[in-house]
Chains A and B, each alone.
Chain A
Amino acid sequence: MNGFMSKSEQVQALQREILAMQGFRVRPEREQQDTGLGIINQSFPHHTFPANAVHEFISGAPEEAAATSGFMTGLLGKLDRSGRYLWVSTRRTVFPPAIRLLGLAPDQVIFVDAASNRDALWAIEEGLKCASLAAVVGEVRDLSFTESRRLQLAVEQSRVTGLIHRSGSRLPGVTACVSRWRIRPLPSQTAEGLPGVGFPRWQVELLKIRNGKPGVWQVEWTVSGFRIACLEQAAAVPVLQRTA
């Protein structure tokens, strides 16, 4: 009978409703932007990168932090938004000429150097409230649940993309961010054993995603953008999420 749906269909329909209530609206096809994330998109609700949300990246060593900065920059470049970018940090090491190599115009980025974590979070929040910005990148050490909630509320009003990079934070804790990522550098590959260093290559772990499926991928940054190989789709739930 047509009037009855199977249990799984009912659950799916309900999930869609919940998603719509939470702000993950299904946007018309023409408005959906392809972030070039390919297969990773399948992990997101509605198979679209949630651009109007706060994403959290965690990293340990400076090598990982550099890989994370690289991935974030590539992602921002692919979002293809008009407007400027705000880059707030307490200890800034990012080198503007390299941003160009990763697909973002460095002169569109406004760097803010905060003296303390508190000042940095204030600037990030103010930036996320400013709808004329394309995205805000925040490099902070700590982010409590309350602070992340404030950032998320700011984004829901302004529809700005927020990327929070927590470098050297020992306990990731619980945050209200829509996702949590961890990027690690992988050895690059060169064709046919050619000498030299190849394209940057990362292991991208999506540790948490609200209403989506976490996963692990190998991502390479080439001249044309991301090239993604599936490592283990929805791999065993990563250790970090369980401790969180």
Chain B
Amino acid sequence: MGRYLSIWLPQLLADRTVLLDPDLQDKAFVLTRAQRGRVMILVASDAAIREGIVPGLVLADARAVLPGLLVFGDKPGQAEELLTGLALWCLRFTPVAAIDPPDGLVLDISGCAHLWGGEVAYLKELLHRLRQAGYRARAAIADTIGAAWALARYGQDNPVISPGTQLEALLALPPAALRLEPLVLERLQKLGLYRIGHFIHMPGTVLRRRFGPQLTERIGLATGQLIESCEPVLPAPIYQERLPCLEPVRTRTAIDIALRQLLQQLCNRLLQERKGLRHAVFKGYRIDGALEQVSIGTNRAVRDVAHLLKLFEQQLATITPALGIELFVLEAPVVEELPVQQETLWQDPGGERDTQLAGLLDRIAGRMGEGAIHRYLPAEHYWPERAIKAALSLQDKTTTAWRTDRPRPVCLLPLPEKITVSVPIPDYPPLSFTSKGQLHRVKKADGPERVECEWWLDQDRVRDYYYVEDEQGARYWLFRSGQYDEHTPEWYLHGYFA
């Protein structure tokens, strides 16, 4: 059975409003929303509650009680947004954090608390942090989400329920702690069942007949007879290693040590499962709440600590520890099968398992970005710009041969350059052309080679290519765009031959 921690933030929105505007501390203010033609109070500050203004009151009535009441509009969805933010912040305490609208969070803390020296210390630390950030919170730890929820909201003394004793802890609590509908609560109240202990031992069939199926279900969830799951804000990564620091870490050497240790752990695990990572993220949780992270990608599945360390080193300088980093996390979101193989005794240059080359490309990609590396395969298109396609990996093979029957320039301009020409008669190569203000007299020429635009891909004019040589011996690839009878032809320089 797991261990769950439920956090209750009773005045979440009021606390948030004070955080945004510290002047509102100790002032009576409310957040309102228009409902059914009236303006209702959703949230009231502590000062307002002391004056008897409680959520659910109509604003006009509240104004009558306290004329100086400050009123703010409520943004729909703000509570969920805030809770999601807090849940993401809680990821430093556990990998599984979920929101529990309207005013709570649920953390799955199974196997996490010992890192903070026990559940009591863990809870204390978490609440202390929340209070420092400006949120008043209550929390409890129990075997089930239901029991933790109940104790966080209605518990009196001990917030940490030792495993297997949630039933005893629930007995003294009011029925509302079971997350019941108001109608059921009212019925329980009428019958004088003020404590959970009053009815929890009654037979299930009796309870179901009297109060509907919800009550027995909630009892089952709270006691652990039924299993409840929570939906985490971020899916918990499967390949993750965590390293909490005793003291906040600020130096580059310490970060290096942390990274090396985490990589060692992760690679050991990958080796046991015969996997290698393709993508890894190294995160540092700072004590001021910010998250610093760097990520790397590899060309092939890798579990070599030295190589991964080298890839990370290029980026480690971007991590700013500021006041210090308290927790390091290394995740591998993308892993692939990588069978255990004999370490190569001899190099295999150019082979598919050429780790040296893959390592080089990883380093280049790490410094210049994935987009800087290209490899091309032939594509079956006549249109020169489409004659090549990018290979997806180092292992991609050509499916068609490279064409060698047509002249192609060794340098192809990314954009054809417009030129002016003098042409004697249509379909003849030009006598001379001017490019960048320089006149070239054509001495020799080949062509035309007509290339039609593939109409199913793109609409463009036909091109007639000429391979020409000027009097200096320089060789060019020119084309005329468009036909004489249909358009006014335009001439372009598209490349230089060797």
Contacts and interface: CB of A to CB of B under 8 A. Distances in A.
A97 B475 contact: no
Contacts of A115: 368, 372
A86 B388 CA distance: 18
A100 B407 CA distance: 11
Contacts of A185: 472-475, 498
A239 to B, nearest CB: 19
A96 B497 contact: no
Contacts of A86: 360
B367 A101 contact: no
A69 B350 CA distance: 23
B433 to A, nearest CB: 13
A95 B409 contact: yes
Nearest to B378: A97
Nearest to A158: B356
Main secondary structure of the interface of A (DSSP, over half): mixed
A94 interface: yes
Contact of A62 (B349, B359, B398, B411): B411
Nearest to B413: A93
A186 B357 contact: no
A63 B349 contact: no
Interface in A80-138: 82-84, 86, 93-102, 105-115, 119, 122-123, 126-127, 130-134
Given A63-B496, A97-B378, A107 B391 contact: yes
Contacts of B469: 187-188, 197
Contacts of B498: 66-67, 69-71, 73, 98, 102, 185, 200, 202, 221
Interface in B456-498: 467-469, 471-476, 495-498
A93 B414 contact: yes
Contacts of A206: none
Interface stretch (B80-88, B128-136, B329-337, B438-446): B438-446
Nearest to A69: B410
A141 interface: no
Interface centre among A67, A73, A114 (most CB of B within 10 A): A67
Nearest to B390: A111
B410 A111 contact: no
B444 A107 contact: no
A196 interface: yes
User: Chain A contact residues (Cβ within 8 angstroms of B): what range?
Assistant: 35 or more
Contacts of A100: 402-404
A99 B354 CA distance: 24
Interface centre among A66, A106, A187, A221 (most CB of B within 10 A): A66
A190 interface: yes
Contacts of B475: 63, 66, 185, 188, 197, 200
B208 interface: no
Contacts of B374: 110-113
A63 B372 contact: no
A112 B364 contact: yes
Interface string A49-64: 0000000000001110
A177 interface: no
B372 A97 contact: no
Contact of A97 (B368, B371, B391, B408): B408
Contact of A187 (B349, B363, B471): B471
Interface centre among A99, A115, A123 (most CB of B within 10 A): A123
B445 A197 contact: yes
B54 interface: no
A96 B404 CA distance: 11
A195 B23 CA distance: 90
B356 to A, nearest CB: 4
Contact of B367 (A84, A122, A133): A122
B406 to A, nearest CB: 9
Interface in A154-207: 184-188, 190, 195-198, 200-202
Nearest to A123: B364
B375 A98 contact: no
Contacts of A198: 444
B377 interface: yes
B238 interface: no
B373 A112 contact: yes
A70 B410 CA distance: 7
Interface string B285-329: 000000000000000000000000000000000000000000000
Interface centre among A70, A82, A105, A107 (most CB of B within 10 A): A107
A84 B357 CA distance: 9
B350 A98 contact: no
A106 B357 contact: no
A105 B401 CA distance: 10
B159 to A, nearest CB: 56
Contacts of B387: 97
A143 interface: no
B253 interface: no
B361 interface: yes
A102 B410 contact: yes
Given A126-B363, A134-B350, A185-B472, A111 B375 contact: yes
Interface of A: 61-63, 65-67, 69-71, 73, 82-84, 86, 93-102, 105-115, 119, 122-123, 126-127, 130-134, 184-188, 190, 195-198, 200-202, 221
Q: Lowest 6 CB-CB distances: which A-B pairs, in order?
A: A70-B498, A66-B496, A63-B474, A95-B412, A187-B473, A100-B402
Given A70-B497, A109-B376, 12 more contacts: A63-B474, A63-B475, A66-B475, A69-B498, A70-B410, A96-B402, A102-B410, A106-B376, A126-B364, A134-B349, A185-B475, A221-B498
29 contacts: A61-B474, A65-B411, A66-B410, A70-B498, A71-B498, A73-B410, A83-B350, A84-B350, A93-B411, A93-B414, A93-B495, A95-B384, A95-B411, A95-B412, A98-B498, A102-B498, A106-B378, A107-B375, A107-B402, A110-B373, A110-B375, A110-B394, A112-B373, A113-B373, A127-B360, A133-B360, A184-B473, A187-B472, A200-B475
